[in-house]
Structure 1
């Protein structure tokens, strides 16, 4: 297997070059979790992996509680399948809370303050209520709990990791929070060892070929635990050396096709975010245009599995303007692909598109 094969197989396993599912929950479950701090981008990340999906379809999946947005891997916002959210949070929360302990201490968020905060939040959200961050902050302030200086950020983060709250439906353009157990009833508990193995299996199913260090980056677990997790799934996956590096992939390879393609991927897409080493798909001289020093990942143009540019979109009253920035000249056939994928993005937003 060559690096070229690796790119096409990733496109296949990442559900970009194939769309076998018609349900957003199945897509998200395939990955284990999907990056979602950029809300609009995260919806497109799911939508492009579904046949003919629209932005409204993704909003519907959220409202129907098929997928749930919350703080998860590495303490950042992700979409998780509703069927997975409880066991994944149970697995990752203890480690993340330990990692964040110094922040809690610096902000004066000790156990009594957090307990008082959670009691107030729970009471405010009982019986299916959904409140915005601002509304919850007002309630906490009335209880004498300060929410300034990042305190609200970490109160909400901890409440999410401890499975008290998750995001609900939006109120206009405002995000709301609701009680997780009311939104998605608890599922059967899974032992940590089994849960870590399942997370590794989900990761490899949606990201392979991938290295152990990629899983370490993506999951936030240390190398020792990552190796143990991979060892527990070696009946389904195997090691293979590609381009001098050791990758894990399914023992029975999917029937992936190496056909010409061009895709407009959103910011923070798993095709970039899912790996510690991105030089297999991005020329090193262009990485600065894809990932900034402060951790911002831009939308990308991917040609035959290789990142060949970035793009931005501007929503106007009656049209979505798409402005591609190609690093190097592309062929006429790829220019045609660009128009096709731009139209697909316009259809997702239910708006005509304009390439500039």
Structure 2
């Protein structure tokens, strides 16, 4: 089994721009532990150092590393209207003296004015990002092609663009960024019985699982579906992990049997607030004073509650939930989250 020092050596082979100022803390949630009957801990990746924090900071270190190695002066990226990824990319670009082009997809139907003007949208505007729109929410190849068309225009203007792809058929540099996150948690907390993480693009879930396994940690990691159903997400995770194994040159069998996905909190769909999402968000806020976001982390915590109710996670177990940030999106969901 590979140890964390070998992880560091392997990651050193890839260009990287450091955006993390330090390790993020792990905290015990005492009141929720008592209420739920488990030993509950939270990995606070909402406290990464860049622009309101969040998990995307880790992923961007390797994208910007490659971009700067190529001499890029402009970053292009796609995400949902309230995407934390595009906001974080715009912040990293500003920090590094680069420009950013953010393409916003229409993934969430029926949203009100605040969704399009507040939260991450407002922050990206303050960061000076250029905005584009893409009318389809489930067309990764089409969204990537639209970015490449804009990149061609920028080249004609004398700029050097770098595209962060949305589609899965590209090297998983975002997943590579979360491998040290898994190793970091292993060093901080030691043995635990289960981890619960969001599973959307698969980058955070896949990298986190890989970092834990390469560190010798065998506890199950449950990915909570935030965008696709269980079967679709399982297939996506296989692709992500296979590509990550190729990139890092380790045996994919080490991680393939560790794919666990659960979609019981997905309804009514990506970026939409169902009853379990609202209840989880409220419970965390009123019990621990920690805010979750409606797209990823509230569904992740709802997944933990669902796994506990189903007996997949057992009373008395030591459980870690990954907080991936995203709180600025709360302000874009005012209509959905206002108390009745």
Same fold (TM over 0.5): no
| TM-score, length-scaled by structure 1 | 0.28
Larger Rg: 1
By relative contact order (CA 8 Å, sep 6+), the higher-ranking structure is 2
| TM-score, length-scaled by structure 2 | 0.29
